[in-house]
Chains A and B, each alone.
Chain A
Amino acid sequence: MISLEHLMQPPPSGQITSHESHGHLYSSEPSEAVMTTKNWLGQQFVEVTVGQEPVRTAHSKQEARDAFYAHKETAWQRVMFAYYEDGWEAALKEIMNSRTDGRILQAASKVASCTLKLLRIANKVQELLPSPKRTISSATSLAHGTGGSVVSVAWHPHTCTLAAVFCDDTVRVFSASYSITPLLKHRLQKSVTQIAWMPYSASQLAVGCEGGILLWTLDPVNVVTRPSGSCVMLLSHPSTTPVNALSWHPKGNLLACVGDSSSVLLVWDVGREVSEVAHCGRQDSISIVLWSPEGSRVFVGYASKTMRVFETQNWSYEWWSLDSPVQSAVWSANGHVLLFVTQEEPILFCIGFIDGEGVGGAKVAAQVADFTAKEVTLESSENVIVGGAVRQLAWDPRSERLAVIFRQTEYIALFHTSFQPSLHLAPGGFIRGEMGRIPVTASFRQNLASGAVLSVVWSSGQVQHIPMRYASREMARPANIAHSSLLSPHINHNISFNTSVAANISLVHRVPSLPTSPLIGGLFTSP
């Protein structure tokens, strides 16, 4: 199994990764790196800047107390302030937390604890009733509050256009061919969780937010910098508001979305504004939804320790139990391999799928990479930590480069991936930004004929493009790949690195469910 030890040394301090050429990552001074990127991308360089105007964090994400220094208060004062600021529920919590203070009676703390428990039960009952006013879960809004102005970016699937979400819940659209940067702002566009361009369309951008999905229509030849409210359409359903995640069908006619208030998977026919519940279960809310690139499967990651993959004909599913909730997942270009990471384990898992009746997923997910945090010595004899808990995975559209963004560390791990004949991970290197900057999110450009461009949003709000030039491998026939890799009993050697480091531990087990696939059963066994 490949690990971070196999990757080359990160760039030295003071240098940032500028580009990849022939399999090697190169670094240079920041100004020089930008020049290199501009030279490499030429007319297709998209600069994400907001000009002179300041971008303030949205009111929903900031609190007045942040502006003041903390000072010592008595327990009663804390209770009183909690009551004034957040109501009596917060005051009860404060009483409960102050049991060790000595000034609050133990009895009062117990009463507060019991009252809070009753409140929780009441809230659960209330959850049965639909209510549009809910807050975004911490899992989905984790990209916010990183300090930078840009929160996330999304590349258009066919053009050199980049949409960037800012911390003030506005979206700006940057294009290489136009100097005008449309600003998308709407009164309903609050707590933006995800944006996605509609495939096979020049102009439709879906913005998932608190009130539902806002579908912006931007005329590509229009010179309006501030599209009006008539350019936006709201797709709202009580089961999926606020929106946690959304994903377009690769053809662009359907849009899957999930909400924070229930475990409903909803599919919109965007043109007709008609929605249908594809699945409603009894689990926790869904945090991730991902349509496979060929459109025949949908991955769904729950806030609880389960995940499901649906096939899109009859919407039957197979599900897997996990040790911790899914943090991020990506489909391979052919839709036959799903890579995912969980919130707690720094391990990359892989599940293979075969075509046929049902979902056709492997029973057990294999571990293919270990991202455990390690201390690495730089050229300058400086020791740095790399790896750890993963924030996001990003796989390029041809599935040849896999970027792994970590939550705490400054370095992005890059792997070269191929299917010859099975999934093969090779070390690429570490990508580094400016000193002290942590990567927030990353996205690969979608419409390149060869090579790749990785756009990284750093915690400073800066968006850096890293061009990667390499000879693209001829991809084998997808069906053959899946069969050859997954039907073999020697899975440990198929999913391996350099034939020496084998994936010999399998922890994630699929739970037998009614709509199982008869094709894969028993073929993919745990060692």
Chain B
Amino acid sequence: MAMEELFTKEVLRWRSIRVLTCCLLFQLIGPMSWCITFHTISQGILNPFSILYNVLAMWLFPTRLAVPFVCFVVLSHVYNKSFTVSAWVPITRWETWRRFLSLSFFLKSCMIMLSCAFLTNFYVSLVNPDLPSILIPCQPEGALCNKRKAFILYMGLMNGAYYAYYYLMDNGNLLIPATVYPSRLQRVKSKISISKVKEAYNKHGPSMISFLILGIMLNLLNGKSSWTDGFVILDIPLMVTMFMATILWAISITFFNDIFHIFITEPIEIPLTSEEDINPETDLDSWRLSHALSSSGLLQLLAFMDLKTLAALEPRNFVRRSQIYAISQPGGHPRNWLGIMNPSLNLIRKFTDRLRRHNCPEEIPKVPVKPLDPSVASTDINKNAVVKAPTVTMKERLQKILDGLKKYPVFAYFLAELPDATNRSIFADALPVIWAVQAFGDLVSSSFTEDKYGVAQRNIPDILAAFLQLQKVVDGLSRGTISKRAGTSDSLPAEFKLRRALRSALRSALYTVTTTFGPSILEMKMSAEYQSKLQLYLDFKEG
């Protein structure tokens, strides 16, 4: 079974089930209990035992959970299909519009909108059962009932549409792995606070203006009556109920989003070696760290997170790290080391090449056409090299046509590249690179004392060269766009933060290596340019 498929089946599926369970529990304890309590009090029953009885009855017979269950299953499906680990940065305006007009966006938006509408209606029916449900048809003479129902439905759909746009177009689906991983309970607890409720309300909550506009718009669309009849629906019970329902919806959706992030991005520990090592003829796509590092998406990200964790110089990682420096018996091959080094250095070099190709194409060395001989190369670092498609001429023609169209203002508006967009899109993919840099900085420095057979130390020049090349390219980019004055409220987009994080990670990794090895690092076979750069690090003059 392919590793990514295995990951989806064995890991992600169970994590999604845990997300659903957690959210349904939260529904019972939080919004639904609140709705029942509010409804009981609004009926004039102030006896706490009665309130408690109603709440307990709901907990013991949670048949009402069916609606939120269906809604969250649908949302979970959309989330699982849409989540991403790197922020989406459109290169041109046309790309934005293309995504917006795509069938996938339409279908996913519809699913989110319907889920949100049903969830809002569910809360309305709990808070005030007298109000009409969208599932039950009104009596033929009930014009007010129809108006109220339309109001509830459209309010839910409108909130869902806003949320769908945020989620699918505004990088709401971006998974940002946490800094540290305390227990799940602790992380969930930290997401339930008054400040979080306030944040949820501010982000997705309703506003009075949206109520008014929607009320009037609905009435205007219903052309038979005069516009003043629109205010009929603005009765106090409906307004209060809708306000409460949309707040509860905002809290629920924010909680679901947070919980999804918490569970899906949990770290995994992937073994360095497996049974296939003994019998190499078996499935090469087995559950191993080296294979996971060569994969893509969330699995690759979690694999680099695992690599970073095991490389950290903490005593608990010593046993696992010693496997990296081990050699195979018999044969004496540093299989584990090469297994993690090849995909990591490939990733760093590819990233450097992407940046170079866009910013300084003249610096890219001409690669000879002759393929590299694996027996000569110390490491198979070009294992994942992209094979160029034979349709280069077609691409060139298409590019020429597009360049021609860009001369016209209308087309230029859509097709012209947005400022710094390419660099931003490249840096959006920088997180695994950052972790690879951090991990190899630590692994190289721990090899100083732990690498008994010298398996890592012969590749130190390669690793340092990759770091220094990347640093040169990253430092060469203009810094103007990444600075933000301290104290300003707006935060930078994720890709800008990653750009800064990459610079910081590179420096820290190089300082870690130079501090550990001292001046002896200069004795390694490296170019004069890199030697002088390392000397700056040794002198702590590289800021």
Contact = CB atoms under 8 A, between A and B. Distances in A.
Interface stretch (B182-190, B470-478, B524-532): B182-190
Contacts of A233: 484, 486
Interface residues on A, range: 35 or more
A43 to B, nearest CB: 14
Contact of A130 (B195, B512, B541, B542): B195
B179 A229 contact: no
A321 interface: no
B481 to A, nearest CB: 12
A221 B541 contact: yes
Given A230-B485, A232-B486, A276-B178, A130 B194 contact: yes
A369 to B, nearest CB: 28
Interface string B487-518: 10001100001101110110110011001000
B519 to A, nearest CB: 13
B483 interface: yes
A127 to B, nearest CB: 10
A296 B315 contact: yes
A201 interface: yes
A280 interface: yes
Of A211, A271, A355, chain B has the most CB atoms within 10 Å of the CB of A271
Contacts of B314: 294-296, 312
B543 A314 contact: no
A159 interface: yes
Contacts of B512: 200, 251
A253 B508 contact: yes
Contacts of A128: 194
Interface residues on B, range: 35 or more
Of A252, A277, A279, chain B has the most CB atoms within 10 Å of the CB of A277
B312 interface: yes
A316 B181 CA distance: 10
A158 B543 contact: no
Contacts of B515: 158, 200
Interface in A305-319: 312-316
Nearest to A310: B182
Given A267-B179, A272-B501, A315-B183, A201 B507 contact: yes
A197 B508 CA distance: 13
Contacts of A296: 314-316
Contacts of A500: none
Given A130-B194, A218-B543, A294-B313, A273 B497 contact: yes
Given A220-B541, A221-B543, A254 B194 contact: no
B393 to A, nearest CB: 42
B227 interface: no
B313 A295 contact: yes
A275 B179 contact: yes
A130 B483 CA distance: 28
Contact of B487 (A211, A269, A278): A211
Nearest to A157: B515
B246 interface: no
Nearest to A314: B183
A274 B182 contact: no
A465 B515 CA distance: 25
A104 B182 CA distance: 56
A202 interface: yes
Interface in A265-296: 267-280, 294-296
A272 B508 contact: no
Contact of A274 (B176, B483, B505, B542): B176
B484 to A, nearest CB: 8
A219 interface: yes
A7 interface: no
B306 interface: no
A272 B438 contact: no
Contacts of A159: 540
A187 interface: yes
A278 B483 CA distance: 28
B434 interface: yes
A203 interface: yes
A490 interface: no
Given A202-B541, A217-B543, A355-B316, A315 B487 contact: no
A324 to B, nearest CB: 28
Of A204, A218, A313, chain B has the most CB atoms within 10 Å of the CB of A313
Interface string A201-226: 11110000001001001111110000
A479 interface: yes
B542 A271 contact: no
Contacts of A280: 186, 189-190
A316 B183 contact: yes
Of A128, A159, A218, A274, chain B has the most CB atoms within 10 Å of the CB of A274
Interface string B167-181: 000000000101111
Contacts of A251: 312-313, 442, 508, 512
Interface in B312-333: 312-316
A355 B486 contact: no
Given A130-B194, A159-B540, A315-B186, 16 more contacts: A130-B198, A158-B511, A201-B504, A201-B507, A202-B540, A204-B504, A253-B505, A271-B434, A273-B500, A277-B187, A279-B182, A294-B315, A295-B314, A296-B315, A314-B182, A315-B182
6 contacts: A202-B511, A233-B486, A253-B508, A271-B434, A272-B431, A315-B180
Closest 3 A/B residue pairs (Cβ): A271-B501, A315-B182, A234-B486
